[in-house]
Structure 1
Amino acid sequence: MRKLEVLAWLVGLLGFGLLVSGVMLVSVPAGLIVAGLLLMFWSWLADRAAAQPQARHGPINAQAGGDHVP
């Protein structure tokens, strides 16, 4: 993982915690609902990211006349 990816993950985790904490200051049940919804959204995003094929950054395919391998 690159530093930017790790930093983005940590900032997202901090934002999640602050948002849930702020809502829980108003109402504990609402905070738990917000936490559940955000975790389901995170799970959906992770599932979508895992389902996408990984981009290959390999060399140019010489057999196909110089076309880049997808």
Structure 2
Amino acid sequence: MKYLQWLSLLCGLVGFALLVAGLALYSVPVALVVAGVLLMAYAWRIDRAVAAGQRLVANETKG
């Protein structure tokens, strides 16, 4: 991975952790629900990025 990709991943994880920790100070069940929803959204985003990368590699091998 490139430097900016690592930096983006790190900032995303830190932001996610801070958001959930802040919500946990208010209400632990709300924090757990938000954490679950955000993890599902993040997994969906990663899945789309991997699929796009596989399509890119497939197109490069054809041409």
TM range (shorter): 0.7 to 0.9
| 1:42 corresponding residue in structure 2 | 42
| 1:10 corresponding residue in structure 2 | 10
Measured in 1, the distance between the counterparts of 2:50 and 2:4 equals: 19
User: How many residues were matched structurally?
Assistant: 58
Identity of aligned residues (%): 48
Measured in 2, the distance between the counterparts of 1:40 and 1:32 equals: 12
| 1:21 corresponding residue in structure 2 | 21
Consecutive unaligned residues of structure 2, counting only runs of 5 or more, are none
Where relative contact order (Cα < 8 A, 6+ residues apart) is larger, the structure is 2
Q: CA deviation at 1:47?
A: 1.0
TM value normalised by structure 2 = 0.82
For residue 14 of structure 1, what is the amino acid of its counterpart? V
Identify the structure with the greater helix proportion: 2
TM value normalised by structure 1 = 0.75
- Which structure has the larger Rg over C-alpha atoms? 1
Q: CA deviation at 1:55?
A: 5.8
The structure 1 segments of at least 4 consecutive aligned residues displaced by more than 3 Å after TM superposition are none
The CA RMSD measured in Å over matched residues stands at 1.7
Consecutive unaligned residues of structure 1, counting only runs of 5 or more, are 59-68
